[in-house]
Chain A
Amino acid sequence: MPTLFEKIRDRHVVAAREDGNALLYIDRQLIHEVTSPQAFEGLRRAGRSVRRPGAMLAVPDHNVPTTPERAERIDDRESREQIEELRKNALGAGVALFDINDPRQGIVHIIGPESGLVQPGITIVCGDSHTGTLGAFGTIAFGVGTSEVEHVLATQTLWQGMPRGMRVIVNGALRSPVAPKDVILAVIAKIGASGGTGYAIEFAGETIRKMSMEGRMTVCNMTIEAGARFGLIAPDEITFAYLKGRPLAPPPSLWDAAVADWKTLPSDPDAAWDREATLDASNLEPHVTWGTSPQDALPVGGSVPDPEAQPDASERARMRRALEYMGLVPGTRLTAIPVDKVFIGSCTNARIEDLRAAAAVASGRKVHANVTALVVPGSGLVKRQAEEEGLDRAFVEAGFQWRLPGCSMCLGMNPDRLKPGERCASTSNRNFEGRQGPGGRTHLMSPAMAAAAAVSGRIADVREVTR
């Protein structure tokens, strides 16, 4: 009867209230420098301590520059202070830290899985809305605010209501270079930016089952862009194979017991859902966003839509505003939109498979003369693996910049950002106004599509570029 979500939730209830809220045990917490300083400060002021330092892992990612001089210095005073504060707080509390020059440093949602600490059936939080990424392992993983970061530091628990359950079934074989990013952009376009509000979304179906962990993480990463705090996928042999042997995965002596436990987690066949949606992936096209909400995604063969054709007045007003901000005219073909910058990176698309997909397009081609293109690996380990595979050379020879790991140009908190009016083909997750820098214009797409835009100087259909 119960769903994957319900099974995990049930085993984490420490105490329950009559109103349906429950005190849930939180197995693990990831910590980064932006949303944690006030939480540690709150603890100190109240004279409290960290209850289970061994259940936490800290990493600086949002503020870190992605250029080599960061090994010696960070010029921005506030960024430097936030990173120093994280170091002080982590070391002071005995919390594990992957510091800025540690080879394991990287984007928090990438290094967690990579280390093996994200395991099926756990509850895990981070002061970051993209924590849902980790639901790809069959976990309850969700973003929280700083007050809840503090609550978990102090108590290892959180009070939580029961979200409604939605299942999104994706069937059909993806036709390469159509990618998991295209799946999730299409899902968000279908259910809307608030279609998942109040829900935990379980992704299921043949397409998801065949996806790698990297692809599943891309899908779960963007569930928050559909409004849902939780995205999750049933664990299976692909999950177990990914985890086996990682440094923080269950050791050999406990491995079989862990796998036996994990196999009990998938939703029962007769589980009930409050809502279901389906997507046929077999005819899916590469997707691109045209507006300032992730729901504004269209197949790349399409054109900028006309707000005046929209019957709903508030949606019409929103679309008009989005087009004004984006500097676009209705009817313009998406492939006629020139780009200034290309960003391949972020917690959505900076894992090894993403870099392979982009490198396959970049290889033997040249970045367009009008374009500055960045590739930012999601972690030091991804970077090392990419270099072992020669992907860095393919990028550099094509004219891409090969950077050090961090959040980079996803969010305008570090030196990598757009200038006002600049237009970017980006593999990140948010095309909000000003997200990549004040006045910057973002078009979301997959790594292969972003590489195709880089070599074309405009948004391009990767299938035509590589034909």
Chain B
Amino acid sequence: MIEKFVPLNAVGVPLDRGNVDTDAIIPARYLKTLKRTGLGAGLFFAWRYDAGGSSLPDFPLNRPEFRGGKVLVAGENFGCGSSREHAVWALMDFGFRAVIAPSFGDIFHNNCLKNGLLPVTLPAAEVRSLIDALLAAPGAKVAVDLPAQTVTGPGGDIHAFRIDPFAKKCLLEGLDEIALTLASAEEIDRYERERKKATPWLFLDLAG
């Protein structure tokens, strides 16, 4: 289910790294759960804690100034690698509602939209300036306005972003996508009937 996106004006957390993969966002051992909840505990685990389990004070998520942050600002290709939706669940469980980066892994980007975590793509230079501003003034806020499709940085700088109109509607209304698709059940039925005639070998039951 998509959580409805509400306008944000919240602490921005800079993560000045590129190619952050979903293994780094949530290590595999946290994927053994049967639930979607509670994954915030494992978020960026290897970067938040040392081998002995002690908190690493310099990592942004551990710094008191960034506590309560809801907007993560990171380098290019954020969320590359594994398809694990647990990465999105972990970010949301920790409190994030938007991630700003120059580019995203395709599957991660999709997973964000299915849950209500807003992925905002901005040009690399604009992301750079946001990260620099947040590092210079830790605890500064970033505003994200989805209807207007703008991000407002700590210095009042406004950055317009693009988003697929349907994805935007789903996020703003918190729609149940499966229910929407099931409204097309007759079209799916019709497709199956025609396809069964054209390619009958694809309708043999795999269970035998």
Contact = CB atoms under 8 A, between A and B. Distances in A.
A225 B23 CA distance: 13
Nearest to A258: B201
A35 interface: yes
A147 B201 contact: no
Given A15-B187, A35-B84, A229-B106, A434 B27 contact: yes
Contacts of A228: 106
Contacts of B111: 145, 147
Given A412-B28, A433-B24, A21 B46 contact: no
Contact of A434 (B46, B88, B114): B46
B41 interface: no
B85 A147 contact: yes
B206 A14 contact: no
A57 interface: yes
A127 interface: yes
A248 B206 contact: yes
Given A229-B107, A254-B200, A438-B27, A63 B32 contact: yes
Interface residues of A, number: 88
Contact of A432 (B81, B83, B184): B81
A421 B27 CA distance: 17
Contact of B206 (A96, A122, A438): A96
B179 to A, nearest CB: 8
Contacts of A254: 200-201
Contacts of A42: 1
Given A25-B188, A155-B181, A438-B51, A38 B84 contact: no
A57 B85 contact: no
A351 interface: no
B58 interface: no
Interface string A76-102: 101101100100000000111000000
Interface string A125-159: 00111000000000000011111101100111101
B148 interface: no
B85 A129 contact: no
Given A38-B34, A413-B28, A438-B46, A194 B80 contact: yes
Given A119-B201, A129-B107, A147 B114 contact: yes
B184 A193 contact: no
A28 interface: yes
Interface stretch (B14-22, B133-141, B149-157): B14-22
Interface stretch (A46-54, A275-283, A299-307, A386-394): A46-54
A143 B107 contact: yes
Given A14-B184, A413-B28, A145 B206 contact: no
B207 A144 contact: no
Contacts of B64: none
Nearest to B165: A19
Interface in A404-441: 411-413, 420, 430, 432-435, 438-439
B202 A119 contact: yes
Given A151-B178, A154-B178, A434-B27, A122 B83 contact: no
Given A28-B206, A157-B181, A251-B201, A411 B28 contact: yes
A38 B31 CA distance: 11
A411 B204 CA distance: 34
Contacts of A318: 17-19
Contacts of A54: 203-207
A350 B185 CA distance: 40
Interface string B70-102: 000001110011111100100000000000000
Interface of A: 14-15, 17, 19, 21, 23, 25, 27-28, 34-35, 37-38, 41-42, 46, 48, 51, 53-57, 62-63, 76, 78-79, 81-82, 85, 94-96, 117, 119, 121-122, 127-129, 143-148, 150-151, 154-157, 159, 161, 193-194, 197-198, 224-225, 227-229, 248, 250-251, 254, 257-258, 261, 293, 314-315, 317-318, 321, 411-413, 420, 430, 432-435, 438-439
What are the 4 A-B residue pairs with the smallest beta carbon separation, nearest first? A54-B205, A250-B201, A145-B85, A78-B32
